A = this chain, B = another copy of it.
Amino acid sequence: MTRVTADQGISLDGFTAGPDQSHENPLGVGGEHLLDDWMFGAADDNAAEVEAILARKAFIMGRNMFGPPEGGDWDEAWHGWWGEDPPYHAPVFVLTHHERDDLPMDGGITFHFVTDGIEAALDRAREAAGDGEVGIMGGATTVRQYLAAGLIDELRLHLVPLVLGSGERLFDDLAGLNLEPVGARHTPLVTHLTYRLS
């Protein structure tokens, strides 16, 4: 069966985004350090984890991770945060309440917009992924919904040694969740933690 995984960059104090998220600061003030430094920095210490993320055969993301905010102007041809040629090469299913036609990108991937909920999006992503993995990309609200519904097999936290102080917390409203540690590896910029969910 298709494995469902989620990766989240997270601060020591549990935030997956800083405060005041906007188009200029999609991950909030300071939140860019949760991903950019280790994923897109010069050092290849974290190449294995980045490669694992990009190897997924289908992705799911929330509407804010794609953008613009709910009710924003789709006609401005906003193509997501990742530019015309996103680094991942597999279909992306975007959770939204706004119908929109499929959006093919220059790099060969297509954004699909799903308006009938997280399970429907996962069904379509599973079908697209086949024997590959489905990756829940975020943001925190989306990962939290899938965790609460028991639909994630493996959670990979990329723990960045910063204290942000405010922002969006991954584990709010998930009290009682039990995870099994199955991996831990540190590099100078981040510690990669892998958990299996039962």
Contacts and interface: CB of A to CB of B under 8 A. Distances in A.
Contacts of A169: 13
Band of interface residues on A: 35 or more
B186 A182 contact: yes
A141 interface: no
A191 to B, nearest CB: 5
B174 A163 contact: yes
Nearest to A177: B163
Contacts of A163: 171, 174-177
A195 B188 CA distance: 10
Contacts of A162: 177-179
A55 interface: no
A109 interface: no
A164 interface: yes
A58 interface: no
A176 B165 contact: yes
- Which of A164, A175, A183 has the largest count of B CB atoms less than 10 A from its CB? A175
